[in-house]
Amino acid sequence: MAEQDYSWVYSLVDSSQVSTFLISILLIVYGSFRSLNMDEDCQEKERECSGNGAGASTISSASASNSIQTIDSTQALFLPVGASVSLLIMFFFFDSVQVVFTICTAVLATIAFAFLLLPMCQYVMKPCTPQYKISFGCCGRFTMAELLSFALSIALVLIWVLTGHWLLMDALAMGLCVAMIAFVRLPSLKVSCLLLSGLLIYDVFWVFFSAYIFNSNVMVKVATQPADNPIDVLSRKLHFPQAAREGPRLSLPGKLVFPSSSGSHFSMLGIGDIVMPGLLLCFVLRYDNYKKQSSSANSNGGGCAGGDPGNGMPTFPGPGGIPARMQRVSYFHCTLIGYFVGLLTATVASRIHRAAQPALLYLVPFTLLPLLTMAYLKGDLRRMWSEPFETKPTPSKFLDV
């Protein structure tokens, strides 16, 4: 009897759960560092442009920055509303829009997975091909590595459409996660709190309370409902007689699924539960890097020793100060540990209640609260809240030590 009551404890070390934990954390870390590398590349190109006065560098730097989407306060407030509308459309009109939605998802997944493969293709192609770009007219100019990554991505999407295998769907979902974390920015802690708090309410409502209004769990139904294969739909529309064998229905790459070691069940995690906390982790990684660069610049320029490099405040402005060991803990590591604990708590809750849980109900508090606490103790909360990356002139009295 006791073994049955605590069977959920053993399920936590199941291969499906371990895979979910590892892959989600790796995607967040990889996407955050890809985002940081993109920012550093843009800064390097801007420095080269200002030093050489080259117009081409200006164009490439501007195009790279234009592809990045920064979420403001208004967008953060209305994003849960837009997500709710999209969820209702998929719930009520899924049969009507499933083909269009599947094709759009496949196109986005192709681009995202090509972005995921690009560093590997660049590493493979670098010794054997020159780094020039091939022109494709109005489509733009691309390197051989970019063409290879795009070709491999198209091949994977076509195989996924033909087979519907869960592993290929996971690969496409991973590409979507990394691309969204890399190309979307949270500018401040205030916008981060608005976005994550709104999405927490959105997640809780559609998982726990939608059944009382719509007589069905809207979130679970939309997330698990497979779509018709677009090849089969096209064959029926064109009345192809040779299309006797129907292709598999497609589970769309809006989630990660991993089978258990016994094959009896799948562990599932929505990509929103990876991307939205991932945007917060990307923000704190950029802030950690910004503080490190500011500290190096101030130490080289004779700045205030032992002070906050951004605003000239002392190192221990929090109440009673914090230990020096705590000062060395980065915001990124603190928030990443909070994400892991939140994901573990969500998994335990789903096993205990034997029902789907809104993961953001656990992920948001376990990531935001430690971050806010550490920022307050370190004296960075006010700056991170509004304008974390703006360089303000330091008064001369703080420089004379």
Give the residue numbers annotated as catalytic, written as ranges. Answer: 203, 273
- Beta-bridge partners for 184: 69
Distance CA 174, CA 26 (A): 10
DSSP annotation string for 4-50 = HHTHHHHHTTSHHHHHHHHHHHHHHHHHHHHHHHHHHHHHHHHHHHH
Q: What's the 3-state SS for 155-203?
A: HHHHHHHHHCCHHHHHHHHHHHHHHHHHHEECCCHHHHHHHHHHHHHHH
Distance CA 160, CA 147 (A): 20
Q: Give the residue from 292, 274, 272, 308 showing the smallest Cα distance to 36.
A: 292
Two tokens at 93? 């009109």
Distance CA 365, CA 345 (A): 11
Two tokens at 346? 């969500």
**Dihedral (CA of 389, 394, 398, 400) sign:** positive
> What number of other Cβ atoms are within 10 A of residue 129's Cβ?
12
Place of tokens 């020159």: 130
